[in-house]
Amino acid sequence: MTRTIDTDYLVVGAGAAGMAFTDEILTHTDATVALVDRRHAPGGHWVDAYPYVRLHQPSAFYGVSSAPLGSDAIDATGLNAGFYELAGADEIRAYYERVLTRRFLASGRVHYFPGCEYVGDGRFVSRLGAESWQARVRKKLVDATYLEGTIPATSPPPFDIGAGVRIAHAGELTGIHARPERYVIIGAGKTALDACVWLLEHGVPAKAITWVKPREAWWMNRKFQQPAALSPELFRGIALQMDAMATSKSADEILLRLEDDGVFLRVDRTVAPTMLRGAIISESELALLRQIENVVRMGRVRWITRTEIAMDDGTIPTDEHTLHVHCAASGLAAPPVRPIFEPGRIRVQGIGWGFICYQYATIAVVEATAKDDEEKNRLCQPIRYWNTGIDYLKAFLATLAGNQVRSQHPPLRAWMKSTRLNPTNVAAVHLDHPTTVEARETSKRLVAQVVANLSRIES
């Protein structure tokens, strides 16, 4: 049975992108929204995430603009001690459920269709029953899944697995019943890092862990990503980046200078990183990870048998007493960059460096306040997600250019100065802190020089 519904916006995907977008549409318009998601609950990949995952940025910067996440508390214990709280998967899932029920559905302007697959042309079908719906969309289809990536819990390992090999994805570590003699963590990204940290925190000796890392990564220091009372360090971190970008002769020099300043981190300072995806860690986590000495750098894993792990550049032995932990999913997708605004459609994409919920919400405010698609695309130039150091520089340059353009659009400028999702918004009491004042003055003074130097380096 196919039912017909009428809606202003058909938003496909109830993850961070779809939720942030819908929240701002409700705030800035009187439009109706049909929110469709193939999962049974809102939250996107958080619904499937490994149990011990936490935000790598403070909770204060995440979610939707209308509802705070967390209680603005500074942690007193653990690896995040001294910094603002990081919500875990359970808290984030509960948060999005509250936003859905108390904000979206209570408005009477949002209809939610969980467990449904969007099949195109305004049609979506139940994944469980026989029902289907045809949406008559008065304004736009919003594709909030364009950047949807993969995580280990929902994607098979990208390598062959022989018979008898003991393997688990990152989320299954919490359910182990028979303790292995050795763990092999496979992957170089944040999931692998989290798996290593979780094992070490739970008493697994570092000598029992082998970390197979296809690439070495740059990480961002959480010290410089803090809100509220700790925000002077956020502004100082921005100023340090601006100074390095204004005067360095190459991308490598910028990154090394920022490492010396503590803005960027790497686990092994003897290995040149080739990956920079913007993930944030603490120096406490870094110290813990440096306990792991069995690090294998032979490229990507190709196959695992009961006796060996084969990689691009060699093999290492394994056995039936070893648990191999799949952390090698690709994460965020990197599809071709397309215009965000097209007739009848919005493809939600990144428009700058960092704090992604702020970017998703910005796109919705632009949709609500700009006059046409040409103007909207001028305000929201999409960028490709960063993967390397040079990508980071391109994204930073695009952020400077985009912020300049967006600041000239009065409704958007007013919102940017008020939303909690903007990391540079702090209470006025903190703006006159000497560190904040000096850092803001430095950043403003260096903008033109940064743009000129980064443009030269990129070319």
In a 3-state reduction of DSSP, which class is residue 241? helix
- Does pLDDT of 428 surpass 60? no
* pLDDT (mean) for 405-426: 92
Domains of the chain: 2-149+332-384+404-416 (3.50.50.60), 156-326 (no CATH)
d(CA 304, CA 167): 10
d(CA 60, CA 70): 7
Beta strands across the sheet bearing 275-281: 264-265, 217-221, 275-281
Note the helical H segments in 248-346: 251-260, 283-289
The half-sphere exposure of 273 on its side-chain side, counting CA atoms within 13 A, is 26
Specify the DSSP class assigned to residue 102.
Answer: I
* pLDDT (mean) for 45-71: 96
d(CA 62, CA 57): 8
Beta strand 294-296 with 209-212 is parallel
d(CA 21, CA 35): 11
pLDDT tens for each residue of 310-338:
999 999 999 999 999 999 987 777 889 99
d(CA 419, CA 63): 11
Strand partners, 211: 185, 295
Residues ≥6 apart with Cβ < 8 Å to 422 = 355, 358, 416
Average pLDDT, the chain: 95
Task: Report how far apart, in Å, the C-alpha atoms of 65 and of each of 20, 60, 69, 98, 415 are.
Answer: 7, 10, 10, 14, 10
Task: Report how far apart, in Å, the C-alpha atoms of 219 and of each of 83, 257, 387 are.
Answer: 17, 14, 12
For the ranges 181-185, 240-244, 386-390, which has the lowest average pLDDT?
386-390
For the ranges 102-106, 219-223, 384-388, which has the lowest average pLDDT?
384-388
Confidence of residue 112 (pLDDT cuts 50, 70, 90): very high
- Does pLDDT of 429 surpass 70? no
Q: Which two tokens stand for residue 389?
A: 């150091």
Phi, psi of 296 (to 5 degrees): -110, 125
CB 259 within 8 A of CB 272: no
Confidence of residue 426 (pLDDT cuts 50, 70, 90): low
Element (H, E) at 402: helix 389-406
- Does pLDDT of 71 surpass 60? yes
> Which pLDDT does position 299 carry in this prediction?
97
CB 132 within 8 A of CB 2: yes
pLDDT tens for each residue of 125-175:
999 998 999 999 999 999 999 999 889 999 999 999 999 999 999 999 999
> Which pLDDT does position 329 carry in this prediction?
87
d(CA 123, CA 40): 18
d(CA 25, CA 139): 12
Element (H, E) at 322: strand 322-326
Residues ≥6 apart with Cβ < 8 Å to 139 = 8, 9, 31
Burial of 126 (0-12, 13-18, 19+ CB in 10 A): middle
Confidence of residue 431 (pLDDT cuts 50, 70, 90): confident
Longest Cα–Cα distance in the chain: 65
Radius of gyration of the chain (CA): 23
